[in-house]
Amino acid sequence: MELSARTQLIMATTAGVFILSAWMMEKYTDSPFYVLFYLLAFVVGGYAKAVEGIQASLKEKQLNVELLMMFAAIGSAAIGYWGEGAVLILIFAYSGALEMYTLQKSDREIRALISLQPEEAWLISGDKEFRVNASSLEPGNIIKVKPGERIAADGIVLKGSSFVNESALTGEPIAKEVGISSAVLAGTLNQSGLLEVQVTKHMKDSIFQRMIDLVNKAQSEAPPVQRKIEEFETKYVLFVLLAAALTVLVPGSTGIWSYSESLYRACVLLVVASPCALVASTMPALLASLSNAAKHGILFKSGVFLEKLSLVNVVAFDKTGTLTKGCPSVKLAKYVHDAYKREDLISIIYAIEKNSTHPLAKAIMENLQSETKGSPQELALFEDFPGNGVRAVVERVTWRIGSRSWTGISEKQECKLLSEVEEEEGEAGHTVVYVTADDELAAYFLIGDTIREETVEAIQALQEKQILTLMLTGDSKRGAEAIGRLAKVDQVGYSCMPEDKVNTVKNWKERQNVVAMIGDGVNDAPALAVADVGVAMGMGSDAAIETADVVLMKNDLSKLLYAMKLSERLSKIIKQNIAFSIGVIFVLLCANYLEFLTLPFGVIGHEGSTILVILNGLRLLKG
């Protein structure tokens, strides 16, 4: 059974009281019972680490640091150094309690997150309201959220307005105003108004639950540096035991030292050569970093990606929803097919686009909604082609809606069409969506989006770090280059299919670069999977979030910069810890063999370095 940090701290302190009592009894009385108090200090102080070491050794069938420290303490007592052995146990117990504190602090933050998820909700059914278990809510259910209550499920506001605090998910303390049609998230706090919300996801699929799952998973996986240290630990422990045996036999048999001195030096060796500080160099720092990131709305699926983020030197961005706000609107609509009336075209286009999940389709639907009249058109066929557009059959006519290449519009024809509207609407940031009926142009929409406020600042900050920035989009050359100029990215890739984004990421990786891909759509998922670090916007598609390695809960690119700085700090602190722990071991070993080092100072030097390493890692909880 694993003891809590508080219990370990109490046991360590109790052991300290026993040691003090034994020392005073030994110094000021002639009673031989002081040994009993030292024994109690051994048992009480060493219990947690002894159990941990024995269980791990039996499970993995190999020696570990905990057993090495037990041997050192027992060896010290065997040659009459009860006090030194007890102090070793005491400091080892305190360092263990501190390490457990780091682990349990992360666990407490997860439990605090879980406690924010409501267990019950007010379900509206007809004219009645029922108190139901939040886990039983289904998509389509309507729930009431009263002021001061937490929202029980991801959904859309049907009625009411309020201010919602999303700090548990995004780390942003300022409440967001919501009204009819606003998206709201499970676990967020309704601060003022009364809301009626239509549930869109099961609890297990909510962004809140996904956040908890991601943090749990990240904390359970050790990064490469830690795995290498753990592999090294087993061999190193055997090496230290062999060195201790040789320290007893060789100097003692050759007369360099007496056997008593040799045994003493071997005990000091077991203490100072133990890699406790080295083993603690990584995980406390990593867990502190993951907790820090989660508090700021940045979720890592594994510590591997937190470590790797500091090595990124190429960042590729999707456009819509990543560099831009992802709330495009139709600036101009033209209906040009001679065989169809305007209202017929509107009805057909609306019927097709309402089946698409693309942000541009939503913009077109919103534009057409007020003009749609009569019964909706029936589709004989509907197919979605991510990165291209959609295809549908209506009354034996094949309709295509999407990019120029998908709909078969020539580049020359596009230039002619755009030149006709350029003076009226301009071209800055506009995307063109074409509609064809049996390969004949029927309509086209000029759609504009807005650059995120933080986009330019984030990209400039990346460029200052000598990181190459790319924009990969399915948009036409004109629209892509216009957004690229506004965002000030280094390179623009336009008319990109999902496979084109994948190939671009692969090409940069083949040039020995570490590539991060940032996106939010289904069509970004393949590139997110291929990149060294895939980053998804938290409000993006489920496919992107599932595929990515990092999730920015709030669609804020400045959080990417924070994550990169955190990764750099983590890398720096891990290097500091490793260098410091190895340096301390080397100095203490030299002092031991030169007979400058006594066992008490060996204990203080070794265990003190372990505590310092852990405290250095805990600095990552802040900042």
**Active-site residue, 318 included:** yes
The 10 Å Cβ neighbour count of residue 588 is: 22
Instruction: Read off the amino acid at residue 350.
Output: Y
Would you state the torsion angle of the CA atoms of residues 574, 575, 578, 581, taken in this order, to the nearest 10 degrees?
Answer: -100
Q: Rounded to an integer, what distance in angstroms lies between the CA atom of residue 162 and that of residue 469? A: 38
201: left (phi over 0), alpha (psi -120 to 50) or beta: beta
Rounded distance, CA 449 to CA 446, Å?
10
What DSSP letter does each residue of 140-188 carry, written as one string?
T-EEEE-TTPBP-S-EEEEE--EEEE-HHHH---SPEEE-TT-EE-TT-
Q: For residue 174, count other CB atoms closer than 10 A to its CB.
A: 9
- Please state, in angstroms and rounded to a whole number, the distance separating the CA atoms of residues 491 and 470: 5
Strand locations in 522-611 (E) = 533-537, 550-552
Helix residue spans in 204-223 (DSSP H) = 207-220
425 with 417: CB under 8 angstroms?
no
Considering 107, 205, 213, 318, which one is annotated as catalytic? Answer: 318
Instruction: Report the alpha-carbon distance of residue 391 to residue 388 in Å, rounded.
Output: 10
Name residues whose C-beta falls within 8 Å of residue 243's C-beta, 6 or more positions apart in sequence: 269, 273
Provide the CA 361 distance to its chain's centre, in angstroms.
31
With tokens 């943090």, the residue in question is 215
As to burial, measured by CB atoms within 10 angstroms (0-12 exposed, 13-18 middle, 19+ buried), residue 414 is middle
Count Cβ atoms below 10 Å from residue 135 Cβ, excluding itself.
15
| Long-range contacts formed by 132-136: CB under 8 A, 24+ apart | 134/186, 134/203, 135/203, 135/204
Among candidates 221, 191, 213, 224, which has minimal Cα distance to 294?
Answer: 213
Tokens of 173: 């303390």
Three-state secondary structure call for residue 288: helix
Are β-strands 389-394 and 381-385 bridged in parallel, bridged antiparallel, or unpaired? antiparallel
Q: How far apart are CA 30 and CA 254, in angstroms?
A: 38
Dihedral sign for Cα atoms in the order 519, 524, 525, 530: negative
Q: Which residue type sits at 432? A: V
Instruction: Tell whether the torsion through CA atoms of 273, 277, 281 and 286 is positive or negative.
Output: positive
Please list the helix, strand and coil fractions of the chain in percent, rounded to the nearest 5, in that order.
55, 20, 25
CA distances to 158, 159, 161, 368, 529 from 182, in Å: 8, 10, 9, 20, 30
Neighbouring C-beta atoms of residue 61, cutoff 10 Å: 7
Catalytic residues, by residue number, are 318
